[in-house]
Structure 1
Amino acid sequence: MRDGVTGKFRLVPRNEAVVSVFDSNFLVGDGIWEGIRANKGRVQFARDHINRLFQSAKAMYMDLGLTKRDLLELLHVTLDANGMNDEAAVHIRLVVSRGLKSTPYQNPSVNVGLPLITIIPEVKAVAVDMKSRGLRLATTWVRRGPPDVKDEQWNHISKATDIQACISANVMGVDEALMLDQRGFVKTCNSVNFFIVRGTEVWAPTKDNQMQGITRQKTIDVCKANGITVRELDFSLTEVYGADEAFCTGTFPSQIHVVEVDGRRIGNGKRGPVTQRIQELYQELVARDVSRTREEIAAEVEAERDLSFLRRLNGSVL
């Protein structure tokens, strides 16, 4: 935990970790978070996750009080202290609260010091039976909102919309709730992103009204890099029901196939060949990413934008 008032970082046993009742997350749900994977002590897709966190912080007008490399180093220190450098399946919940308040009030003007940063690592993998069985989905009444209400691109601590959808899934007796946007097009699930396969094409809902999932984008990237046609577009439940395959993506599960939506079997009800191939390509990408040294990963995290494409466009040297 990085205390926002003292600026000190300390490692605390799980059963001794406490947060003040005057903390912004507790009082008004004012904070952001990231779900991150680590493999053998290497933070997976570190640049993408840390950039997304800093983008959310900037949108929320929140000064984290440290650099991107500093934050990565805190993740490394936590992994080392927990003896997790031989573990291939570590899930990290990185939570940032705006910090301590002098009194219960929503205005950040009463905050004291910098944000509180909490890092919670766990050895955790998707259950084998879930991975082999696949997911059952059902459409919920809970809709994804527009960015002028609560921008769904923020990984905000206030997850009330997704929690309501999750409760809806529990009531319906399925694994995840499939959520629509305000126009009725398929958008995302309550905790993972959603894709379908029709013929030779992979379809992804547009990024509007949903979390800018890193695994979602990496899935699109590996498709494009390996000759699999992927389209980002609006599509309806009718097109989902008639899909040949469907799958969900997320930092925790990577890709996991969908066998049923609203009681309709998807394809033959099993993991399809396109989904399987994407899983293989994605795992190859992960393996390349985490095979680097910590210093190589840190250098990428703090690197400036790559503007080499401009030289290719006009032949000039910047």
Structure 2
Amino acid sequence: MSVRSDWIWMDGKFVPYDEANIHVLTHTLHYGLGVFEGIRAYQQDDGGGGVFRLKEHLMRLYDSAKMCRIDIPFELDVLHEACLETLRRNNLVEAYIRPLVWLGEGQMGLGARNNQVHVAVAVWPWGAYLGEEGMTKGISVGTSSFARHSVASVLQRAKVVGHYVNSILARYEANDNGFDEAIMLDATGFVAEGTGENVFVIKDGVVKTPSVTNILAGITRRTVIEILNRQGVDVQETLFGRDALYVAHEVFLTGTAAEVTPVRAVDRRAIGGGEPGPITRKVQATYQDALRGRVDWAKHYIARY
């Protein structure tokens, strides 16, 4: 998957892809203190583009920065337009959008406080994060030996650059063991999340998802809960162990990149009949329609360009 595009927005101006460079002594490159977002744009039925829940993603970016004591040197409205204009400049109507905030070079060490804050927005085409076949037939997942960060150790609600080392190692481990994705447990052994997704389980028509105590409260998670509620299905936000995954009738993952991805097996145990179930399919279809402006109650979530 290539991330190449023609233009990247950096610190208020557009620069060619090959000139969007940083210094080797960039503070965030060494210590991981930076924040980012992952957002998607979709082609609408009239041929134009639309970004789903752009404002909410940018609000979380600013919240993440605040928690990390980073002052973003642009107003939210400026970044909102930067995302849309970067898509326009690159002639993309189906794309992934990556706003990134980082600390530049100047000082080193953990106590550095005066390095310039930089902001960039990059966009690129990105298909199904966990594969097209996974979207239709479901993926296999394995529970990871890497636990989700404890709430006592990290800022759970912040999307911080350095937090994702754990997720990368969990994903490597899962792939090396023959799985498509990993599910991480929390420090006490309860199901937390995937490497970049939230988890939903369904048993006898009852839908459960881990509470936000020890996970990143995903924006797609929020949308899916709204979809289920509007379909007359209550969602229990609660604690459950991996055994709940093994005996579930349906399991699916949610995320901006992963969208709604069905799970067909957990730790080599088939889920349901080993294929996506009816609730998963209905949620997946409604979510895809919402992204493309076909669901009336969700149209206000779309920023057109």
* TM-score, structure 1 as length reference: 0.84
Contact 1:151 1:209 (C-alpha < 8 Å) held by counterparts: no
Deviations 1:149-188 (A, max 9, x none): 1123211000111112112112211111111111111111
Give the alignment partner of residue 140 of structure 1, picking from 123, 140, 144.
144
> Greater shift after overlay, 219-228 or 19-28?
19-28
Q: Contact 1:101/1:110 (CA < 8 Å) preserved in 2?
A: no
Q: 1:183 to 1:50 in 2, by over 3 A?
A: same
Please give the per-residue CA displacement for 1:39-60, whole angstroms capped at 9, x wherever unaligned: 2432210121011111101101
Q: Is the 8 A contact 1:41 1:76 kept in 2?
A: no
Range with greater deviation from structure 2 (140-149 or 248-257): 140-149
Root mean square deviation of aligned Cα? 2.0
TM superposition shift of 1:249: 0.6
Task: Report which stretch shifted further, 284-293 or 266-275.
Answer: 284-293
Displacement after TM superposition at 1:290 (Å) = 5.7
- Which residue is 1:95 aligned to? 100
Match for residue 235 of structure 2 among 225, 230, 250: 230
CA–CA distance in 2 between the matches of 1:188 and 1:232?
Answer: 13
Residue in structure 2 matching 1:72, options 74, 80, 90: 80
* Unaligned runs of at least 5 residues, structure 1: 299-318
2:125 to 123, 126, 130: 123
Amino acid at match of 1:59: M
Bigger Rg over Cα: 1
Cα pair distance change 1:49/1:293, threshold 3 Å: closer
Map 1:8-23 → 2, pairs under 5 A: 8-23=11-26
Letter in 1 for 2:137: R
Change (3 A) 1:293 1:215: closer
- For 1:256-295, what aligned pairs fall within 5 Å after superposition? 256-288=261-293, 289=298, 294=303
C-alpha separation in 2, matches of 1:29 and 1:240: 33
Counterparts of 2:190 and 2:41, CA distance in 1: 34
Question: Would the aligned equivalents of 2:141 and 2:180 in 1 still touch at CA under 8 Å?
Answer: yes
1:139-288 aligned within 5 A: 139-158=143-162, 159-288=164-293
* Inter-partner Cα distance in structure 2 for 1:29 and 1:167: 20
Residues 174, 293 of structure 1: alpha-carbon distance in 2 compared, 3 angstrom cutoff:
closer
Aligned equivalents of 2:209 and 2:154: distance in 1?
22
CA distance in 1: counterparts of 2:98 and 2:250, whole angstroms: 31
Deviation track 1:121-167 (CA, whole Å, cap 9, x = no partner) reads 11111142231231101111111122221123211000111112112
Q: Any idea what SS the aligned residue of 1:177 has?
A: strand
Matching residue's letter, 2:113: S
Partner of 2:51: 43
Structure 2 counterpart of 1:110:
114
Maintained 8 Å contact 1:42/1:290? no
Q: Secondary structure of 1:208's match?
A: helix
8 Å contact from structure 1 (residues 197, 245) kept in 2: yes
Letter paired with 1:123: P
Letter aligned with residue 134 of structure 1: G
Output the CA distance in 2 between the equivalents of 1:46 and 1:292.
Answer: 8
2:170 is matched by which residue type in structure 1? A
Kept in 1: contact 2:202–2:249 (CA 8 A)? yes
C-alpha deviation, 1:283, in angstroms: 2.6
1:19-58 Cα deviation digits (max 9, x unpaired)? 1123222122110010000124322101210111111011
* Distance of 2:238 and 2:25 partners within structure 1: 44
Residue 143 of structure 1: SS of its match in structure 2? coil
Q: CA deviation at 1:106?
A: 2.4
- The code of the aligned residue for 1:148 comes to A
Q: Distance in 2 between matches of 1:24 and 1:73?
A: 27
How many corresponding residue pairs?
A: 286
TM-score calculated relative to the size of structure 2: 0.88
Name the CA distance, whole Å, in 1 between partners of 2:100 and 2:49: 19
